[in-house]
Structures are given as structure tokens and as C-alpha cells.
Structure 1
Amino acid sequence: MSRGKILRKLASEVLGEEVAKRLWGRIEFIGDIALIRIPPGVEYTELIPLAERILREFKYVKSVWGGYPGVRGEYRLREYVHLAGEKRSETLYKEHGCLFKIDITKVYVSPVLGFEHRRIAELVRPGETVINMYAGAGFFSIIIAKLAKPARVYSIDINPDAYRYMVENIRLNKVGHIVEPILGDAAKVVEERLYNIADRVLMPYPDIALQHLPYAVKALKDGRGVIHIYLHVKALKGEDYFAKAVRMVEERFKEIGIGKIKVLNKRVVRMVAPRVYQIVLDTEIA
């Protein structure tokens, strides 16, 4: 039986079918920690019996936490509550052959982005210089360094805890000769020292990507190259969310004086709320 089917069965047995429908698909595993995203209207105490069953069923899980909806603040952190097992929020997490040490309460992390981490890495060409403007604990940056052949990856984050874990993860994965960790505000870092050097820029922070787009353009060599823009798009019933995303990005490029771009690819990363989608556009300025 798959892990998903087991989780659905456990949730149904412990909480009943109606609650299980809203819940079982919201359980994630990061290293030896299980995360239950708490649905609206459900008290965290109701989830403790399920957390205890998860510990019994999945022997490698040592701690279970509940996560409240949404992320908060410039560090994009979710509020968590401990449910069962060891009261420990730090773990080792493997993804695409790379090892990451993280603390779920101090660093933004989402297993849903695993496909995206690899997808971007497979687009990087040998010898490229890459700037990751919002690197967190280094997932995109390190996976690019391990799976592609970039010349350099500049990996920026403003969160001191994320920076500390990023430095540790660079060491763990032995990519210090490629990935340079930088603590600071991405816009200021680009303005001060990383302008006109990049072939590719990553902007995986949907809330501020459009705001910071001028700095991503400044980072490109001679203003030409690829920018991966992540954004949240709210689509009305029947509205084409891809068309809306492209329109939002094209309008922003025009505001900063760039009239023509090429959209190389577009995809939905995930749904973040009813009719609100996280979308990535791979754009190129030629």
C-alpha cells in the first residue's frame, strides 16, 4: 500500500471520513519529521491522535508537527505546533541526492517544490553564472550545483537562520567551490556587487518577485538572459490564470523599460488557496 493510501486510511480511522478528506493530502514528510497542515476550522488538539498513529505506522518518523495555514513575515515562516514524538524541529532531509539540514520553524521549506528544484537544475547550461535571489537553506542553489555544471551560483537570503543552514548545507554537499552563500537583502546585494554578471536569475519568492524584477534585470549580463519568476495569481471563475500571469509579468517589464520578452515555459507549481495559484514563468530577455 502506498504512503498516500496509508495516510488516508489512518486519517479516516482516527478522525472520520469527512475530516480525512480535508486532511490526508495535507501531510508531508521532511526527513524524520511529519507535518500536518491544519485545515481551517480544525483545532490542533484534534490532530494529536492522528499524530500518534503516524508515529506508530511510520517507524522512521520521530516527531510530528502541525502547521497553520499561510506563511508570515519577510522570512516566509509558517507557525507550527508540536503534536507528538520528540519535541525537535531540526532534521536532515534528502532531495535529488542532496542532503539538507533544516529547522522547519526557522527556515522556509516545502517538499512540493522538489520537482521544481530539479526542473530548474536541468535547464542550467554548462558554464552559466546563476543568481538565486531568495535561496533559503540552499535547495535550488545546491541542487543546481550538483546536477548541472554552472560556473558559479550566488545564493542570497536575508534570514540569518536560513543563511546559517545554507552554509552548513553547502559544506555537507561539498559544493563550496560553486555555491557562494550571501546574507542580505537580494535587491541591495545585486545593486552593490552582483550586477551585470548572471546568465540566469531565480526569483522563487512570489510575494516580492515583481517588485524586485528591476534588480533581476540589472543582474543579467548586458541585460540579457533568463529570469525564472514565481508569482501568485488569483483567477476568477473561468479566467485563464496563465494568461493573467503573462500579462502581469509583461506589464511589469514594460514599466522598467523592457518592451519585449519571450516566455519560454509556464507551469502551475501548486494551488495555495481557492482559485489562487503559484505559477512560474521562465522568461528570457534576448
Structure 2
Amino acid sequence: MEVLGPADASRIWKRVEIIGDIAIIRRPFNYPIEKLKVLAENLIKYLPYVKSIWLATSEVKGEYRLRDFIHLAGEPRSTTMYKEHGCAFKVDIKSVYVSPRLGYEHIRIAKQVKSGEIVINMFAGAGLFSILIAKYSKPKKVISIDINPKAVELMRENAKINNVEDVVEIIQGDAGKVIENYYCLANRVLMPLPELCYKYLPKAIKALKPHRGYIHVYDFISNVNKRLKAIQKAKDKYEKRLSSIDGVKDFSIVFARVVRSAGPKKYQVALDIEIGKDRC
């Protein structure tokens, strides 16, 4: 980091994510790419476990939730093996979104799942939530959906790598349509896609078995400058939404936390919601 001043070095280091042996730098504002290339070459020398460094030049975007990248240093490959909580995952940073900042959530949810549950993951990506649940929680089935064909391909590989292909049922398609085939089946539905969790909430609830079940949503909350305000705003948003959904007898937001900062005055908030249904 001596190639930069202390202030710049600190600012850039906070924007580095390590996924397997790949480092991703989230570009700090309009910092010159040539300077970042010099930094990347030095990082390769000082961090022997990093073999490839990429610059993320865009936010997550599009139907498949991908970022644009520029290769900065090291091996010009975007695939790696990423390990989390004792499981190994093959990922391609250019083909599927993966963030180590969700690592705590992956295991937190897995610990909540009870033996014999049927779980639906509506936005499964490379399968990290689904596979950790299958590996550690003894569910009956994890129905894992994603619209991105490359993500589905990686998820199938990851299910085999972790020996859970008999538990994880993998489906490619629009979760809003696929889930219609699984109404009244699940004990728990995961919605780890901020752009669609609010829109698809009624369908997720229809997928729950009668009586009681759980929904886990991950939404972006904007225009707040404190974490506690973000949590309260998320609760208010979903309490209002749940009050208007047909078939919901009662509900309770049993847990809420800020997962991460997602930009100025913007946070990703996780909500665990217990749902009571009076019918299917």
C-alpha cells in the first residue's frame, strides 16, 4: 500500500473483497485505473493467497445481478473456489453475484432450519444459502431457483462438490412463475434478492404450508443515515405490505438486522418474518 498515500490506501482497502484467490476492488469514486493497476501489482506481491485482481466498474445490475469488471493484475481468470463454513463453492465473479459480506447470513439462516423442513430459495445464485442449509440442517428438501443459467450450472456443480445433490432440487426459471408449482408446500421461503423480494412477497406466502411458516427477506432501504432507522423503516414497509396480503392471518417480524451498508444512506436489511395462514 506504500504506492499510495495513507488516506487513499485506507479508503481503497475498505473496498476490497476476497473471494477464494480472487480480490475484487470496488472502484472508489473516479480513482484512476492506472493507479489501481499499480496497487494491484503490489497486492499480488504482498498477498500470496491472491492470484487474480479485478476492478468492479459498476454496481450490481440487470436481471442476473452482475457487475462489470476490468482485470488489473495476476491471472486473467474470473473463476475460483470459495470456501465458507466448511463448504466449497465454485464461482465465476463475471457470471454470478457472490459476496463474502453475506457469509454470516448464510449460516444464520441454516441454523434456524429444522430437520425435515421443506425450504424454497427463490433467488439462489450459485447456491450458497441452499447448500449450507442442506449440509447442516437436515431438511427434507431445498428447492433452489434462479433465472440465470450460468448460476444454475454452478449451483449444480456446487451441490455435487458438497454431496447434497439428493437434497437440493435445482430449477432454472423466473422464481415468480416457478414458485406457483410449489404453493402450500414450504415451511420456509428465502428471498435474498432486494430488487424483487417486495414484489414477490405474496407468492412467497402462498408457497408456505397452512398454519405457520417463515419468510426471510433481504431488501434495500434508502434515504436513512442510521442503521436503527433503516431497520425501523424496513419493518414499517413490510408490516404495511403484510397487512394487505390476502390469506395472512397474522404475522410477526421476529428478527431484523442490517446486513451491510450499500451506499450513502442506503442499507441492506434482513427481516425474519413468522407468518400465520388461515388457508392455502
1:25 corresponds to? 14
The aligned counterpart of 2:67 is 78
Corresponding position: 1:222 with 2:210: yes
Task: Specify the alignment match of 1:61 in structure 2.
Answer: 50
Match of 1:122 among 111, 127, 143: 111
The alignment status of 1:155 with 2:128, answered yes or no, reads no
Q: Is the 8 A contact 1:196 1:223 kept in 2?
A: no
Match of 2:198 in 1: 210
Task: Kindly report which structure 2 residues correspond to 1:86-101, keeping only aligned pairs within 5 A, or say none.
Answer: 86-101=75-90
For the 8 Å contact 2:58–2:69, the answer to whether it is kept is no
Matched, 1:260 2:250: yes
SS in 1 for 2:219: strand
Residue of structure 2 in register with 1:284 after alignment: 274
Residue among 258, 263, 266 paired with 1:273? 263
Quote the residue 1:174 is aligned against. 163
**Mapped partners of 1:243, 1:150: distance in 2:** 32
Change (3 A) 1:237 1:93: closer
Which position in structure 2 is the counterpart of 1:5? none
Match of 2:96 in 1: 107
Residue 142 in 1 paired to residue 134 in 2?
Answer: no
Q: Distance in 1 between matches of 2:257 and 2:32?
A: 34
State the aligned residue count.
274
Asked if 1:247 is matched to 2:247, the reply is no
Q: C-alpha offsets along residues 192-239 of structure 1, whole Å, 9 cap, x if unaligned?
A: x21110000000001110000011001101263000011111143468
How many Å separate the matches in 2 of 1:236 and 1:155?
33
Which sits farther off after the overlay, 32-41 or 199-208?
32-41
Alignment match, 1:185? 174
**SS of corresponding position for 2:55:** strand
* SS of residue matched to 1:211: coil
Question: What one-letter code is carried by the residue in structure 2 that aligns with 1:17?
Answer: P
Q: Which amino acid aligns with 2:239?
A: E
Q: 2:33 aligns with which of 44, 48, 61?
A: 44
Which residue type is aligned with residue 96 of structure 1? H
Rounded Cα–Cα distance in structure 1 between residues aligned with 2:251 and 2:25: 40
Residue 142 of structure 2 aligns to a residue whose secondary structure is strand
The aligned counterpart of 1:201 is 189
3-state SS of 1:170 partner: helix
1:60, CA displacement in angstroms?
Answer: 2.2
Letter aligned with residue 269 of structure 1? V
Q: For residue 14 of structure 1, give the secondary structure of its aligned residue in structure 2.
A: coil
Deviation sequence 1:133-181 (CA, Å, 0-9, x none): 0000000000111111111000000000000000110111110111011
What is the distance in 2 between the residues matched to 1:251 and 1:134?
23
Q: What is the distance in 2 between the residues matched to 1:220 and 1:236?
A: 32
Residue type at the aligned position of 1:265: F
Aligned mate of 2:153, from 144, 148, 164 = 164
What's the CA shift for 1:259? 6.2
| Distance of 2:268 and 2:249 partners within structure 1 | 25
Q: Matched residues, percent identical?
A: 51
Moved over 4 A (4+): none
Quote the offset at 1:256 in angstroms: 1.8
CA contact (8 A) 2:188 2:214 kept: yes
Which ranges of structure 2 fall in alignment gaps of 5 or more residues?
none
